[in-house]
Amino acid sequence: MLDSVVSLSDFLSECISGLFESSDLPPLVLELIDFSIRLSIIIVISLLVFWITRRLLLHYGIKLISKTKNIYDDYLVDRRVLHRISHLIPALVIFHLATLLLDIYPIGGRIIHTIAVIYVVGVAYFTVSGLLNVLEDIYNTRPYSTSRPIKSYVQLLKIILFCITAILLIAYLFNVKVTGIFTGLGAMAAVLMLIFKDSILGFVASIQLSVNKMVRVGDWISMPGYNADGDVLEITLNTVKVQNWDKTITTIPTYALVSSPFMNWRGMHESGGRRIKRSINIDMRSVKFCTPEMLEKYKLIHHLKDYIVEREAEIERYNQENNIDSSVKVNGRRMTNLGVFRKYLENYCRRHPLLNQDMTMLIRHLQPTEKGLPIEVYTFSASTKWADYEGVQADIFDHILAVIPEFDLKVFQEPSGADLQDAISGLGSILIKEN
């Protein structure tokens, strides 16, 4: 095939040269005409090969891929690998034809040959880079890809591939040995380390993150130092992209996740429960001992009936055994409305269908302050989804605020403008009556 092309080129050159022999054209012009003929043949043949290649790969190849049940070959189309291969074959044709047809023209042949080499190497680089993207896409279809992403490794391979491509081109263009280039790079090691500092640190950090399972794509992380609070979208060689809850994107250097503290909420998601830790302040002036009438009322509450009966029997037995004079309130043991309320909250949470019953559940006192006595609900929701969690938490405290008056308790609340207005109105009414 190649011999036929060479023969055709020589034949055309001789024919056209014969046409111009009778003319007085300078030899240089005749050489330019011959060179143009040979170059035109190379271009026409390469375009023909390019058309055939694209027809086979892009038309029939994509049709064949679309008919297969295997989804992995679809990535060859998505990543345009076939498009790049369709450029590679014509580039190789130009390279070989330039060697065969233009070898008699040192300068012009060298220029075309150099362009062909750059074209071949460039197309080969982008083709291999596309194949690396395909391998990453195939890997990402595996269930373990979220816990062990390989994006940073693929990026490192691309950097190495780019460096090899650049070294080969430099060696060819300047006619130097590859070993000589590496010797020069060794002398520039300090400069190169400074240039690629972020890439080196990022690569080491990405290995540590992957091996130690510190962070994965999809994890919710909080890193106040970088104003990051949201889901990890992407982990690359140099950066980690986090989509915050306000839909903004924060970019964090990969090595910062190793050198700086951050919070990963993955453990919360995997545990199956999200903590509810909220308190409500009780006005301490409303805390008192329970009267028999109050206890009878509490016995009508479904969550308290058994508790009140058992507690009454326990306290009665204790007071009798210790000869307690029950006529004095401070003697012996008695139930308080706050204690009964705490038990009610505990039983209420124990029976709540949207709370995780396998995790810690506490109703506890906190340190009293000038704003009242905080009663804290410490429990876990059964769902880790944000909307579900907020809904359960709000539902519990809506209920608490509604039932507190049933226990003769009051929520502490600082005076508002309406309270002051009522107080002034009441004081004014008293003064009017006195007058």
Q: Which residues contact 145 (CB under 8 A, 6 or more apart)?
A: 139
Domain residue extents for the chain: 2-141, 210-265, 272-288+336-435, 294-332
Single out the residue of 205, 259, 263, 266 nearest to residue 236, CA to CA: 205
The verdict on domain 210-265 having CATH code 3.40.720.10 is: no
Sheet holding 239-244, edge to edge: 249-253, 239-244, 228-235, 220-223, 263-264
364-413 confidence digits (pLDDT tens): 999 999 999 999 999 999 999 989 999 999 999 999 999 999 999 999 98
Mean pLDDT of the chain: 82
Mean predicted confidence (pLDDT) in 260-275: 90
CATH architecture of the domain covering 272-288+336-435: 2-Layer Sandwich (3.30)
User: Which is nearest to 233 in space by CA: 246, 216, 213?
Assistant: 216
409 neighbors 316 (Cβ within 8 angstroms): no
Partners of 276 in the β-ladder: 379
CB 57 within 8 A of CB 127: no
User: Per residue in 16-43, pLDDT tens?
Assistant: 555 555 555 566 666 677 777 777 777 8
Distances (CA, A) of 347 to 326, 343, 362, 380, 389: 29, 6, 11, 15, 20
